[in-house]
Amino acid sequence: MTFADKFAEIFKTLLPSPFSIAIILTFLAFIFAYFGTENNSIINLITYWEEGLWNKSGGGLYFAFQMMLMLVLGYVLALSEPVSNLINKLTLFCTNSANSALIVTFSTVAVSLFNWGLGLIFGAILARKIGEKFNLEQKPLNYGLIGASAYSGLMVWHGGISGSAPIKATEKGNLKELLTNTPNINLNDIPETIPFDATVFSLMNISISVALLIILPFTMYLIGKKDNSFANLPKKTQIKDIKHKVIGAEIIDYSRWFSLILGILFLTYAFYKAIVLPDEFSLGFINPNFINFILFGFGFLLHKNIAQFLKSANEAISGATGILIQFPLYFGILGIMVGSGLITQISDSFANISNEITFPILTFFSAGLVNIFVPSGGAQWAVQGPIIISAAQELGVSLPKSIMALAYGDQLTNMLQPFWALPLLGITGLKAKDILPYTLILFIIGGLIFLIGLLIF
């Protein structure tokens, strides 16, 4: 067993399931709030937790459903025939571990900058197809490296157009709503919205994204050149095309024209609302609802019919289990932190040890640490977002840069936290220990890129 294998085994034993981590964090929030704040009884803390658990605001269960839908629709899109055909064509250029790793990393990162759910499943299916091809040809392949390459998109997604923090900041009034119950905050100083051109499409983020798009694939290529070992590769799956006799009104479900027209209508209205309707063009139209609307349109357009769309959706829904079952717990944690005043204490402490230069860096590191225990960008925005915003306001630090620092830290430690790799591992047949040694390398390279970007801009 190599050192990398030993590291992966040890790391795997250190963490329980993500759901158990959420429960542990809930108890820790109770303990910190009870002993770290004043005038908070156990009954009060339970009340705060229960109220937060069923938070129906734009930052609560409504947001959880938005993120679930984004993952499911991205998955549905990846299962469509045109996207599947694109994946098959990409495998033609994969002739060894090195160029396979380069192609998988580049394409996965590029797709994930558009949509994290689509990027995750696209990369997983591409890795699986490559494994099947090499198995059929009886050629050596570092399959663990290919799986890690397919997971690389989770290190860039939060800086893309489906990133939870920047995308929620585009929604009018979301920042103020997030801070409504936070004491000592002047909501009049908080902007109604922070558009994408200040965060995702800022010079800093574009530069960092381009650097990742170039350096990460090249890094995986070099690893593949040195390690081309044979692994247990998956066999090609045989999917039977079941013929279905269309009866009566079912003709609507199996009509290509109905699905095609529906997709065109969705995309036409999205274009009208984004480009034609506004008096002045801006990027403020990009928000979770708009992205899901677009994904709906492309899903209808690229699937043969509604029946196929629903079949893909049924397969995709299982990947959203983590969001459904864990998000309420994180909203409960936020309820405790806000109701008890703990969030104000943390914010003040954070601001006291920071200045305009060090705040984004400290935000980056703290977000990376939090993500190990809160493996969801949406839940992390709900828990850590108010702290970051209130501290940034107190220090006079750029809110867009602070939001992106949180996004970078959150996405970076996905390379250490295998929670979002579960759909990928299921599709590829790999285990977490197979990809962790290589995602650790991505973690180091990506961390340097993010830090340099935050210091330069």
Quick one: pLDDT band at residue 345, thresholds 50, 70, 90?
confident
Token representation of residue 320: 């959203």
Quickly list DSSP for 308-365. Answer: HHHHHHHHHGGGGHHHHHHHHHHHHHHHHHHHHSHHHHHHHHHHHT--TTHHHHHHHH
Is the predicted pLDDT of residue 228 greater than 80, yes or no? Answer: no
Query: pLDDT tens digits for 361-394?
Result: 989 988 888 777 666 777 778 778 888 888 888 8
Give the chain's largest Cα–Cα span: 70
- Comparing CA positions, the residue from 85, 171, 98, 186 lying closest to residue 129 is 85
Cβ atoms < 10 Å from Cβ of 239: 6
* Angular region, 25: left φ>0, alpha ψ -120 to 50, beta rest: alpha
Could you give the count of Cα atoms lying within 13 Å of 303 in the half-sphere of its Cβ? 29
If you average pLDDT over residues 190-198, what whole number do you get? Answer: 87
Of 231-235, 277-281, 382-386, the poorest mean pLDDT is in: 277-281
Q: Which of 266-275, 314-323, 411-420, 437-446 is predicted most confidently? A: 437-446
More reliable by pLDDT, 265 or 425: 265
Of 49-63, 186-200, 293-307, the poorest mean pLDDT is in: 49-63
More reliable by pLDDT, 206 or 319: 206
Is the predicted pLDDT of residue 158 greater than 70, yes or no? Answer: yes
pLDDT score at 122 = 84
If you average pLDDT over residues 230-242, what whole number do you get? Answer: 60
Is the predicted pLDDT of residue 238 greater than 60, yes or no? Answer: no
pLDDT score at 206 = 96
Q: State the sign of the Cα–Cα–Cα–Cα dihedral 221, 222, 225, 231.
A: negative
Is the predicted pLDDT of residue 151 greater than 90, yes or no? Answer: yes
The label of the residue with tokens 């590291």 reads 7
pLDDT score at 450 = 97
pTM for this one?
A: 0.75
pLDDT score at 239 = 41
Query: pLDDT tens digits for 408-427?
Result: 999 999 998 766 777 788 77
Q: Is 448 helix (H, G, I), strand (E, B) or coil?
A: helix
Rg (CA), the chain: 22
Q: Is 60 helix (H, G, I), strand (E, B) or coil?
A: coil
